[in-house]
Amino acid sequence: MGPWLARELARVTRATGPRLATLVRPPRPRSRTLRTWQYTAGAATAGLALAAGVVTAAGPWDADGQRTAERDRATALERTGGTDHGSGADSVTADGGPTPAPSAGSVLTGLDGATNTVKSAPAGKSAGISGAALTGVLGPLLDAPALGSTRTAAVVDVASGRRLYGSGADTALTPASTTKIATAVAALSALGPDHRFTTRVALEPGTREVVLVGGGDPTLTARKDAAGWASLRTLATATAKSLTARGIREVTLSYDTTLYSGPDLHPVGVNENLARVSPLTADEGRTDDSVEGPVIRVGDPAADAARKFAGFLTAAGIRTSAPGTSKASSRADTLATVSSPPLSSVVERMLTNSDNDIAEALARQTALASGRPASFAGGAAAIDAQLTKLGLPMTGASFHDGSGLNRDDRLTANLLTALLVKAADADRPGLRAVLTGLPVAGFTGTLTNRYTDGAAGVVRAKTGTLTGVNTLAGTVVDKDGRLLVFAFLTSNTTNPVEAQAALDTAATALAGL
């Protein structure tokens, strides 16, 4: 790192505080030593951002490692002006308003990024990448023995929509967690990026029965620090205040889970990767303080959430009975509500952390928005219907859940790349969270510890892993600034670590085209 770049990185870090510092940290605290490549990548990114005038005090990254400028750009596509990224002359329009926020692509260059800018391919530019050249590069890499007996792939130029490479792209394989890309597109299309999930508390008229009504918020938390998500504690405090105003100090507590239907246990059975699917759950039924990854779950998430809510009510001065199941009547008065952040933020969390609980909740919410039963089958049918409505290539596709844990799910590389292209469509800014939620190579989510010797910060991709199945689908910027989307699916792999490394090598090769 040169002395100027080091000084600039230090200056920007002081200005942005934790925002830029997040760039070189995984999404939750863990004990590990930062490697030289991470400091170098962070420095190059900061240097480029300054040179391009994209960010100053705001910084290109928010606390969750996502690109704030991407959200700004999505907003700017729908109106004149954008978010003010600084007070310089180039950051305001003639009338003094902020200029439309640029794409955050310029923070995703490689280590020599101070001299390059990331851009979508100009018209006709993508023609410079020949199918033969891609075949020559990707063919041998995707032929690696670590990728099992079957592998399919597709690469598409986003600007033109032209498929640049395909190998078995129309062959449907088990997609594992790349299924979540389809779930995200379907949910955002059906509900809209600003939709929020609401948990409410109702009082049955003429009684002292208080009903905690599950609204299907998979991010509801009982933790003291809600970190911006809907808080069960806040809900209890507001409920206690409303009851006290009515002169009620003792209640019969019930909870309502009737929003969802069908089996609540995924076909994989009891699994540390997913709790029983319920419209009422706190912290995904986790039995420790984790916020992501596999962990033992409580046997009944709704009952667990209701017991915690009862404890919070008691602490607020309201005595309660032991909670039992019920259904809130249409005549019940609402005492208090809490709502999740916008669906766009929920989708980002799902994709970044490969969160199965959120994925299954979004499948059911998509079903409800489509007039279908909120069950595994209803959610799968709703996802299929939404994607068909969008005109996506559905041949061979088969959905059985929203998370990709079901081995009977089938997707093609052609569909996965089409989903990503659709999410990049300037005419569909509501789908932008599908791209901003993708893990960043070497920095966030399921790619935090991958690409340490490759395209760190340049590849963004959703991973997929089941026994014998390894998949990867996402975006990459090539050396000429073209934005490409890709999808790699493999089956019958025997070593997941080697398979992941082989897929990462293939994605890194695209960055070098």
Q: What is the pLDDT of residue 129?
A: 66
Q: Which single residue is written with the structure tokens 């890309």?
A: 181
> Residue 132 has what pLDDT?
80
Nearest CA-CA partner of 365 in 471, 159, 350, 353: 350
Provide the token pair at 286. Answer: 């986790």
- What is the C-alpha to C-alpha distance for residues 301 and 276, in angstroms, rounded to an integer? 7
Length of the chain in terms of residues written:
513
And the tokens for 340?
Answer: 């999740």
| The pTM of the whole model exceeds 0.95 | no
Residue 128 has a pLDDT of 52
Query: What is the set of active-site residues?
Result: 177, 180, 354
Contact criterion met (CB below 8 Å) for 262 and 252? no
Query: For 381, which DSSP code?
Result: H
Residue of 70, 26, 87, 9 whose CA lies nearest to 452: 26
Q: What is the mean pLDDT of each run of 10 residues along the chain (513 residues)?
A: 37 31 30 38 31 26 42 45 35 44 33 34 48 88 96 95 95 98 98 97 97 98 97 98 98 98 97 97 97 96 98 98 97 98 97 97 98 98 98 98 98 98 94 95 92 84 97 92 94 96 95 84
For residues 513 and 133, the answer to whether their CB atoms sit within 8 Å is yes
State residue 80's pLDDT score.
37
CA atoms of 84 and 100, how far apart (whole Å): 8
Instruction: Write the DSSP assignment of 10-42 as a string of letters.
Output: HHHHHHHTHHHHGGGS-SS----PPPHHHHHHH
| CA–CA separation, 139 and 226 (whole Å) | 47
Task: Collapse the DSSP code of 459 into the 3-class scheme (helix H, G, I; strand E, B; otherwise coil) and give the result.
Answer: strand
Q: How far is it, in rounded angstroms, from Cα 374 to Cα 386?
A: 15
DSSP 242-310: HHHHTT--EEEEEEE-TTS-S--S-TT-SBTTB----SS-SGGGBSSS-SSS---B-S-HHHHHHHHHH
First vs last C-alpha separation in the chain: 25
CA–CA distance, 268 with 397 (Å, rounded to integer): 20
The whole-number pLDDT of residue 53 equals: 26
Up-side HSE of residue 105: CA atoms within 13 Å toward CB?
Answer: 21
Q: Which residues pair with 154 in a beta bridge?
A: 166, 487
Which pair of structure tokens corresponds to residue 255? 């909870």
Strands (E), 283-419: 319-320, 324-325, 333-339
If we measure between CA atoms, which residue out of 263, 315, 307, 267 comes closest to residue 283? Answer: 307
